[in-house]
Structure formats: structure tokens, C-alpha cells
Structure 1
Amino acid sequence: ILDFHLSHKTNPEFEFTPNESTSKSIWRYLSTENLLGSIENIDLEDLDRIFIIEKATHERNYTEKELYDLYKKFQFNINQLLSVKQSYKLLSNVEARALVYQGILITSEIEPKIELTKILKDLFIKDGIQNAFKDELSKILKEIDIYEVPSNYTSFYNEFVHKEKEQESLTKIKINNKIIHQSKLLNYFTEDITKENIEKDLNDLLKKIKKDKKYYISTKDIILIESLKSDGVQVLKKYEDFYQIDDSNMPTDIQFLIDNNEIGLVLLRLVEVIGQDEIQDIGSETLYFIISALNQLDIDPLRNKILLKVLPLKVKKYN
């Protein structure tokens, strides 16, 4: 990656077209640095190239919007559009997905629309690129009222919509002022609260907790406090020795990139560290250096999103 990065930075005529054998780390670098070529003028007959784009979308290097805008450009005859369920079987996998997607867009009746949506989902699964039809799938199904879904498609509908809505319902944060990282200090990352107010809340909480000899300050507590301090929130001098900072877990290569303000490469390395894991499953020590890196680079929106994902206690939100 470093050699690739240096080639990009030192050669003004640097060009690179990724292919199916290009490593995931290079794809991520190209995506982070906005070096992926535009697909606006891609040759629609170059099906191998379009499959590479589908695969890159599955790996979240291209956006789904870019892929589906590309599908809309395919030219099909009227007979194909009127008989999508039969016609797609005679096409290549790429063309089949484009035809079925166009069929979904022009179909207004609920049952055939859901049927085509399921066919398209299966076509993506067949080629192992199901994540390329994730956001768009949700968007299509959410436009359909659950009460209009035919009984033979309720399982499919619920699998991709009901489950998601249930996850979204876990958005109410339950404040627990007995634990720092679950306390009302979290409101700073979700609301427009002045530093003065959050500063008072922080020091009041530290005063209360310091009196509790049984309280064990956790890594997550430190993550929250250090994030506030990174934003300029002041901790009273008498609480500065409340905990010790251990930066030994920060990989030296990441710190080097931070010191050189290589934001794109830092983000790429953090993606590699997280890998296939859910952010909620990352260990506290790893989470600490991820947040520390974002604090040093002042990438607050991403930091806040991660903090609100991993720190609070969440409960069901009932309307």
C-alpha cells in the first residue's frame, strides 16, 4: 500500500485501472482517495468490466447509486421489458440484473414488483455479490406498505424490511449516570450542547465517581473523556490523575501516518483493522486507538457515529 501511495503522490501522470484480481486494500485505497474512475462513460458491452464494478459495489468501493444508474443505461427492446421474467434467463448475468432492475422500476403492481425484486436478489446472491443490492433493496421494499404484500412474499419482505426496522427501533439511548460512558455526557455527541455545560457535567460526574472507591474506570470511560478533551472540554486539575493513558496499543505505522496528516491512508488502515467485524464487536483496546486516531485527525462526525454505536446502553423505543 505504501509503495502504491508513493507512486500516486509522486507521479502526476499516475493512472491505475483495478481489475478482478486487484487486492481489497488497493480497492479501498482508490476509493478513499477518490481515484476510482468514473463509470459515466463505460462501454455497456464490456460486461467483464461491469461485473468488476458490481463486485466493487458489493465491497462498498462504489456506491449502489452509481451501479444502478449504470443499469438504467442498458438498452432493452420492448419485448424484453414486457416479459422480464422470461427474457432475463437468456442474458448474461450482468445484463440479466440490469433488465430485472429496469423491470422493477417500470412495474407498478405490487406482486410482480416484489417477485422481480426477489429474482434480482437471488441473481446477486448467485454471483456472491449480494451486498451490491442492499440499500436499494431496502429502498424498494420500504416503498411498499406491509398490508399490501401478498402472503406468499411476507417472509421475503419481513426478512429485509421488518428486521431492519426492528434494528432501527433500538435507537433510544438509556442514560445511566452511574457509569461514565453511559452517562448524560453522551448527549454532547447527539445534541447542540455548549462546551461550558458539558464541562460542568463532566467534572461533576468525576467528582461523584472519584468518591466511589469501588468504581473501576474502564477503557470505554477513558475513550469518552478523551474525546471530550479532544474537543476542548477542560478537566479540572484535581481529576487529571483519575486514570492513566496507555498509547502503546496504537500501531506505530498508523501514528506515523497521523503525524504526516495522511488522512486517507489512516482511514484505510482503520478499515483493515476492523476487517469483517461489526464495530460493536471490536475489543476496547482496539476501539481506543481507533477513536484516538480520529481525535487526532479531527474527524468528529465519524468518531461520533462510532461512539454512539458502541458506548451507550440502548433499549427498545416504543411509540
Structure 2
Amino acid sequence: MSASQQRLLDLGWTPDVGRAFQPYRGAHRLARVCRVDRGGADLAGGMGAVRATYGGDVLRAVAADRMAQPAVGDWTAVRDWPDDRVTLEAVLPRRTAIVRDSADRTSYGQVVAANIDVVVIVEHLDPDPDLGRIERLLVLAWGSGAQPVVVLTKPDLVPDPDGMRAEVAEVAPGVEILLVSAVPGTGLDELGALLRNGRTLALVGPSGAGKSTLTNALAGVPLLPTGSVRARDGRGRHTTTHRELVVLPGRGVIVDTPGLRAVGLVADDDAVAGAFADVEALAAHCRFRDCAHVAEPGCAVRLAVADGELDEDRLARWRKLRREAARNAARRAGDRRSVVAELEAKRHRR
């Protein structure tokens, strides 16, 4: 195997990526996005690292749909020019994508990371974990198409980490939950096992939870800066200010992301159902298919609350996220109509 082929394997190359790149062979080379900023993207490929600006096709695609903006983790076709310029000419189809609501709340969303195999939701145990935030991040993860895993950090700072893990398990049905401490290394082997076969992990969660610390621990060297947390509330600083793809040669790929102060969702009913599989399973046994789970006779959800099987707060959060998903769907439909109307207007002006 050549050094170029090994670099691509270290970046997470698969036969599916090779097939997607087939139409671009010859005039282009394959590279993966490591970092994005307003001027372009930092890429890595078989020939090493390179800086690229966006080609015309990419710029036109982004103008029509901001979801087409190159994102960390994207596989791309790049072109070298005689004047030493490098341009990113195409983004290959995404296998999975973590998508959050954009800041302006008017576009389809913002791709946090693409082609992810495992979304690792990192939450601290000290201070106490935010169960509502974990649920929202699980919706984000289920909606991505990747496998969600919850990592609870700082277990050495609390008296009963196993009890706290059990509490988190109640809001993360069917999801693997790991207790991990970078020092002295508790749980790192289990977390590292998720990187098998060159898989790509994305770490998401609040500032101060230890995402960069975990990346450094898995790498065995301090690749990323880490920061302290405030003693009064346990909140961390944004030591990670941008999304970055980190390659661990021979093991896999990690995408480190900045701390999320708020988790804006571009979710659908399926993503919410994945995060609330326990509630959805109960709702399937209600007498009426359109049960609102308020006061209807034969409501299995209300019965579970009364019996202590389902927490009332979790039910309330499920309702809230379902409403949010419905609003998102309506807004996306409105955005599509606006885009179509604008394109029609341009066509008639010609």
C-alpha cells in the first residue's frame, strides 16, 4: 500500500467514498475537510494537507442552499491549478450529517459535521448533568443517521457515578453510556474502541465537559488546547473555537466541536422518536391513534405517568420537542416555497 493510500485510509476512506469520487477522477483529487472558515477550507488527502478556496460550482450550490456549504468531515473533489491555486470543486454526497438550526433561523440548517459514524454526546457529572440538554443532543444525533453514544465525564468528582449514569439512562433508552475520566484514564479503552476500523467520531456537548481533553487523551498527545472551568457553576470556556477534524493514524478520526450554549434543532418526528423511544412505545398502546396524552380515556402514556413508569417532566420535554419539530417542518416548507418563487421570478425576468 502506498503512503498516499494509507493517508486516505487514516482519514476514513471507504469503498463507498471511492465510488462517489469516480466521476471526478483524472482532473481532481480526493480530500476531506478538516476545518472551514470564511475564506475557504483546510483539507487533507493522499498528498497531505492543503488549503483550498471554493470553485464556482460550489459557490452556486451554496447560494441556492446553504446546507451545501462544505462542512468538517465532507469528502470533496479538489483541483490543482498551474498558478498553485487549489479549489474545492465538489462536495461528495454525505452519508450522515449532524445538522443544527442556523443562527438566523431562516435556512434549512447548518451542518455541524458530515460523514460521522458515532455522535458522542459529552456531558459532565460535576456539576450535575443537564438531562434536557442530553435529550436535545440525542435528537440531534438520531437525526444525523449516526450512532449516538453518551459519555459522562468527571466520574471521579462525584460520590455515586453509577447512580448518576442510571439517571441518564432513563432519558437515553437504547443508547450506550460510558463513564470516562481522562485522568486516571477510566473508560478510555471503551471510548477508544468506538474508533475501530477507521470510524469517525464527533464530540458534541457544552463547554467544560471535556471534549478536547478526551481527544488529547485518545491521541496520547496534547493536540488541542484545553481550559479550566469556573468553580461557582462548573461552566467552561470555549477553548475550542471552531470545528476541527483530528486524525489518529491507524485508529480513526475525531471531530471536536465548540461548546454548544444552545441546541437549536432542525429535527423531524423520526429524530424525536429515536430519542424518546420509551414514550413512543407507550403512545403506541393508547386507545386512540390521535391521543394527545392529556385526559383521553385509555391513554397508556398518562397511565405510565400515574404508575411512576414515566417521568412527567420527560413527557413535557417530549411534547415540546414534537411541537418544535412540527414548527421546523412548517418553516422548511415555507423556505422551499420562497426559494421556488425566487427562482421562478428570476426565470421570468430573463
- Report the structure number with the largest CA radius of gyration: 1
Structure number having the greater helix percentage: 1
TM over 0.5: no
Query: TM-score band (shorter)?
Result: under 0.3
TM-score normalised per structure 2? 0.23
